[in-house]
Amino acid sequence: MGRLSRRERERERIRQEILEAAEQEFSQSGFRDTIMSAIAARVELSVGTLYNFFPSKDALFITLMDTKATEFLHSEEEQVRKIKCPLEKIRFILRNTCKILLENLNFFRLIFDIKTEKNMPAIEKEHPLITVKLENHLRFMAGLFREAMEAGMVKPMPPMLLAVCLESLTFGLIEKWDHVKDLARPEKIIADLESAFLEGILASK
């Protein structure tokens, strides 16, 4: 692929600024109460120009979600592939997922909240990109558990079950963060979660 022209580079820069502004606005106001004019104002664009980049609020939101998911999942999987020990791969997934979710707490809470919005099913039906990527990542994690079982490090049990449990554990922590955030430092909370999960699945020595 050739180099982008100056015009194309400028358009991509503006597009990225819109996505950053949209993340801030959605996180602050919620999906339902966010209006396109507020996002446009954050990047000093007219609403008409904003619609030249994204035809609707739904389209902007799904692009933002897809971008964030792609960045997170690609980075995590690339880092996991550099780790040799199967059990350390699982440990890294747990720690890293919690860390990233906490660093982007408001945005991920927005995703949890929007599940109850009447328009979210339509968004997911029309734009299944994120669902597909999350399903692929779930299979990736199941593969890690299978690898750990083959190495004799984890008890024999359905790998997909463990992948689902790990995903539910990390996302559940973020969804209910207000209930535990004052118990200890985030690092200690994540370490305790890691200990509780891994000790339950480790193979007997």
CB-CB contact of 61 with 22 (8 Å): yes
Please say if the pLDDT value at position 192 is more than 80. Answer: yes
Q: Half-sphere exposure of residue 28, counting CA atoms within 13 Å on the CB side?
A: 11
DSSP 4: P
Confidence (pLDDT) at 31: 82
What is the pLDDT averaged over residues 180-199? Answer: 91
Q: Which two tokens mark 78?
A: 């690339």
Q: How far is Cα 19 from Cα 89, in angstroms, rounded to an integer?
A: 31
**What fold, for 57-201?**
Tetracycline Repressor; domain 2 (1.10.357)
Give CATH 1.10.357.10 domain extents, the chain: 57-201
Cβ distance 145 to 163 under 8 Å?
yes
> Phi/psi class of residue 175: alpha, beta or left (left: φ > 0; alpha: ψ in -120 to 50)?
alpha
**What is the pLDDT of the chain when averaged over all its residues?**
86
Which range has the worst mean pLDDT, 59-68, 103-112, 159-168? 103-112
Specify the CATH superfamily of domain 1-55. Answer: Homeodomain-like (1.10.10.60)
Tell me the pLDDT tens digit for each residue of 68-116.
888 888 899 999 999 999 999 999 999 998 988 888 887 777 766 655 5
The first and second tokens of residue 114, run together, are: 């929007």
What is the structure's pLDDT at 29?
Answer: 86
SS3 of the chain: helix, strand, coil, percent, to 5: 75, 0, 25
* Domain(s) of CATH 1.10.10.60: residues in the chain: 1-55
Q: Give the pLDDT score at 19.
A: 94
As a whole number, mean pLDDT of residues 36-58 equals 94
